Structure 1
Amino acid sequence: MLLRSKLALITACVVAVAIAGISVVTWLVTEHNLRTQLDKSMLASLPPPVLRPPEPGMRREFKLRCDEGVPGQGLQLVLQGIQLFKSDGSTCAPPGVDPVVTIAGDDQVTTTTFRDGLTASGASVRVLLVPLDNGDVLILSRSLVEIDDTLAALAGVLVSVAVFGAVLVAALGLWLTRRALAPMERLTETAEHIARTEDLSTPVTVSGQDEVGRLGRAFTSMTAALAESRRRQRDLVNDAAHELRTPLTSLRTNIDLLVRSERTGRELPQRGEVLDRLQAQSQEFSDLVTELVVLARDDRELAREPVEVADVIDRAVKRARSRAHDHVFDVDRSPWRTLGDAAALERSVLNLLDNAVKFGPPGSTITVRSRPGWLTVTDEGPGLPAEHREAAFERFWRAPGARGLPGSGLGLAIVADIVAVHGGAVRFLPTGQGASVRLKLPTIVGG
């Protein structure tokens, strides 16, 4: 069953139950009011001798009429359905009256009492029992046919209203839910289309400020994020394939030279040089694979914990010193903290130091400065022209004068990605000599 059908059915059931409850209450209240009015009219029809202390003559006159068989036409006209239930068990009623069938206990009443009963002909009546001073019981009856007919007609109307109301509400509910869920249906069709075609650029036409609108906007954001992730993955694969083609060709050429030398038995004059190139190229490939793994890693894998930036700088400088003995590192940092992944931040600082070592001449000084919220790495190399400073943070980009140097062109791209994930920014600072790169990172309380 479709969601709109379920909602329409649930709404119809709720309304039907509500109408049924109201109908039952209406019927019961009407029945009570009709019976109350009938009871009041029966009490009002009693003659004064019955309602107040009677005079002896009145009471005897009624008794004599009943005993002597005197027709009670006057009483019959005034009190229809009158009947006298004597203490000896006999009954007396005017001519033409359909007597009420007495039941056990009628002769024992001590106060004015109402009950439902039947006449000798089987008609349903309302019975009023009034005890008299001499032990007899005056019985008045009124037919319940009109009340029963009224209640039956009311019940038919209420049932019809309940059924018609439930059907009407079900139809209106189905129509309204169809209109209300139309955006949801379009969203479902869009999701099915995307799942079938894998086209993440398919627009999602859902608007509004309700839950469906929020869901549409969330779905649009999700598809946009997936499309961006797919684009970045595709670009990374394409760039990696493009950048790996040349080194792979060189590596294969050197290996072919060694294999051919071994098979032919001819001594390769440049054997040592070829082996050195193979070793350097294998190291470059190892570094490239490591950098690609870092770029491909999901940002959610990074830790989110307080990091002492001074400790990160110290570890990165220590690693850089171990592979750049001919450079001087001038470090001045203040203690401060940021929130993030210590290993990733160390990798970004180490990449900046490696770049400074690569472009700085032997014996030059690499300056590291850090204060709360930023750190800067400066070298004494040739520097980078202003027009190339933005492109330097793109993947696999390399300066025209650095194409012959080792490296993959991913170092600064990794720095930019890591810093962006941590809510910071990276840029080149204008300097008279060399290159100066500054990282800005948010500080945390106590940093």
Structure 2
Amino acid sequence: MSLRARVALLAAVCVAAAVALVSIGAYLTVYQRLYQQVDDTLVGRASSLVNDPTVVGSRGEKIPTYFFRLSDIQFDIINGDGDSLLPEPVTRPPIGNDELQVAARRSTQSIRTDTRTDSRVLAVPYRIGTASGSGATAALVIAQPLKPTKDTLANLAIVLIVIGGAGIVLAALAGTAVARGSLRPVQRLTQATERVARTGDLRPIPVSGDDELARLTLSFNAMLGAVAEAQEHQRRLVTDAGHELRTPLTSLRTNLELLLAAEAPNAPSLSEKDKKEINADVRAQLDELTQLIGDLVELSREDATQIVWEPVDLGDVVEQALDRARRRAADLHFDVVVQPWRLIGDAGSLERAVLNLLDNAIKFSPPAGTVQVRLGPTGDGFAVLQVADQGPGIKDEDLPRVFDRFYRSSEARTLPGSGLGLAIVKQAALRHGGEVLAGHAPEGGAVFTLRLPGVPA
């Protein structure tokens, strides 16, 4: 069953239940009220008959003349044996054991429904007068047919059934219309999902209204935007990686072809100096390829969320990265001030990010220059790691793009590197809930600031 059909059925069932409860309540209320009116009428007439002083004589009994004016109900006066005491024959009401009990003074009153004649029967004690002035015990029995009452109740039931049925039908139609209108955004989402699965088209879905379904559409559009952005990042990564790999591979191929050509028969041989230069160039290209592939692997590792989160001492991470950086740049001086700082994260990812910042400072620092490293809390739940060099600095137009993948300024293109080191730093910072900024150092070089949350150790 479709969701639209379920909504329509739910509306119809709810209205049917409400109509049924109201109808049953109304029917029972009217039923009780009508039967109570019948009983009240019988009691009132019985009281009038008992208290009527006008009598006529017949065989010594004194019977109120009011009895003979009863035309719409059946009546009789009976003794304890059930015999009629009226002087003239009348259409007798049903006589049963309850009425005999009243006539014999063993019961003060009885009222019941006689199913054989479909009437309501009332019996009350009655004392009839005689010529000698004494009174005999008897019972006044009056009965009123229930057919008018039942006809009224039957008409009421028909009216309730017709109105209730019409209400249920209208509720089903209204539920169908509401479901069709309310589920239209869901249909658009379904069609969009099928379109994305079929064609890969990530265009957003038009949004109308401000209800929950509209917010669901906005969330779906945000998801489509995130998927489109991820696809664009992937496309740019593949394109940029292919572009960066092309240069070292071309140079490597040229050098290898030159070496192979020199080994061919009758080919001019290369001098030792040329061979050394070619071998050095090949080793440099292999190092560049190795670094580029390592950076790509690191980026893919950062993109995949399989990182081991554990308590990390950022001070220890910085010291370990400094040990590796000092071995790479023995001629540089490192001015280091590190305060303990702990956070939850991945020690390997953080060490790679710090090492990339140090490698970038080493790359642009002049010989015998100084790289300044500072780590300390800022007082707002974050710690700041600053790495500053004494190099040429970063141009203002390059500052917004230094953390982009494969971006290299005009000055950096002549130096070794893949253009992925700072992108790895940015990704690690964002993964740990921090940020990284680039700026100008007071000494004229570049300064990179890595801001990470945590607590003092």
TM-score by length of 2: 0.83
- Establish whether residue 380 from structure 1 lines up as the match of residue 377 from structure 2: no
- 1:338–1:441 CA contact under 8 A, matched in 2: no
- Establish whether residue 221 from structure 1 lines up as the match of residue 218 from structure 2: no
Separation (CA, whole Å) in 1 of partners of 2:153 and 2:197: 61
Q: How do residues 267-278 of structure 1 correspond to structure 2 at under 5 angstroms?
A: 273-278=277-282
- 1:100–1:117 CA contact under 8 A, matched in 2: no
| Gapped regions of structure 1 (runs ≥ 5) | none
Of 280, 283, 298, which residue of structure 1 is paired with 2:287?
Answer: 283
Report SS of the residue matched to 1:374. Answer: strand
Partner of 2:439: 428
- 2:357–2:448 CA contact under 8 A, matched in 1: no
- How much has 1:274 moved relative to structure 2? 4.3
Partner of 1:369: 374
Partner of 1:205: 206
Separation (CA, whole Å) in 2 of partners of 1:300 and 1:156: 69
Letter in structure 1 aligned against 2:173: A
Separation (CA, whole Å) in 2 of partners of 1:140 and 1:116: 12
Separation (CA, whole Å) in 1 of partners of 2:114 and 2:68: 20
Partner of 1:75: 67
Separation (CA, whole Å) in 2 of partners of 1:192 and 1:218: 17
Separation (CA, whole Å) in 1 of partners of 2:360 and 2:343: 24
Report SS of the residue matched to 1:235. Answer: helix
Partner of 2:131: none
Q: How do residues 157-236 of structure 1 correspond to structure 2 at under 5 angstroms?
A: 157-200=159-202, 202-236=203-237
Of 415, 418, 428, which residue of structure 2 is paired with 1:405?
Answer: 415
- How much has 1:236 moved relative to structure 2? 0.6
- Establish whether residue 356 from structure 1 lines up as the match of residue 361 from structure 2: yes
Separation (CA, whole Å) in 2 of partners of 1:369 and 1:265: 62
| Gapped regions of structure 2 (runs ≥ 5) | 128-135, 378-382
Separation (CA, whole Å) in 1 of partners of 2:88 and 2:326: 132
Q: How do residues 197-346 of structure 1 correspond to structure 2 at under 5 angstroms?
A: 197-200=199-202, 202-257=203-258, 273-296=277-300, 297-298=302-303, 300-302=305-307, 307-338=312-343, 340-346=345-351
- 2:12–2:169 CA contact under 8 A, matched in 1: yes
Percent of aligned positions with the same letter in both sequences?
39
Separation (CA, whole Å) in 2 of partners of 1:238 and 1:63: 129
Letter in structure 2 aligned against 1:241: G
Letter in structure 2 aligned against 1:161: I
Separation (CA, whole Å) in 1 of partners of 2:256 and 2:93: 124
Report SS of the residue matched to 1:439. Answer: strand
Q: How do residues 8-87 of structure 1 correspond to structure 2 at under 5 angstroms?
A: 8-47=8-47, 50=50, 64=60, 74-78=66-70, 80-87=73-80
**Is the deviation greater in 19-28 or in 102-111?**
102-111
- How much has 1:98 moved relative to structure 2? 3.7
- Deviation per residue, 1:107-145 (Å, 9 max, x gap): 234021111015xxx541111022446564322100101
Partner of 2:380: none
Separation (CA, whole Å) in 2 of partners of 1:215 and 1:330: 54
Separation (CA, whole Å) in 2 of partners of 1:126 and 1:161: 31
TM-score by length of 1: 0.85
- Cα–Cα, structure 1 residues 124 and 359, in superposed 2: closer, same or farther, change >3 Å? same
Separation (CA, whole Å) in 1 of partners of 2:307 and 2:208: 35
- How much has 1:337 moved relative to structure 2? 4.2
- 1:419–1:426 CA contact under 8 A, matched in 2: no
- How much has 1:264 moved relative to structure 2? 5.6
- 2:312–2:346 CA contact under 8 A, matched in 1: yes
Separation (CA, whole Å) in 1 of partners of 2:151 and 2:235: 82
Report SS of the residue matched to 1:427. Answer: strand
**Is the deviation greater in 18-27 or in 398-407?**
398-407
Alpha carbon RMSD of aligned pairs, Å?
3.3
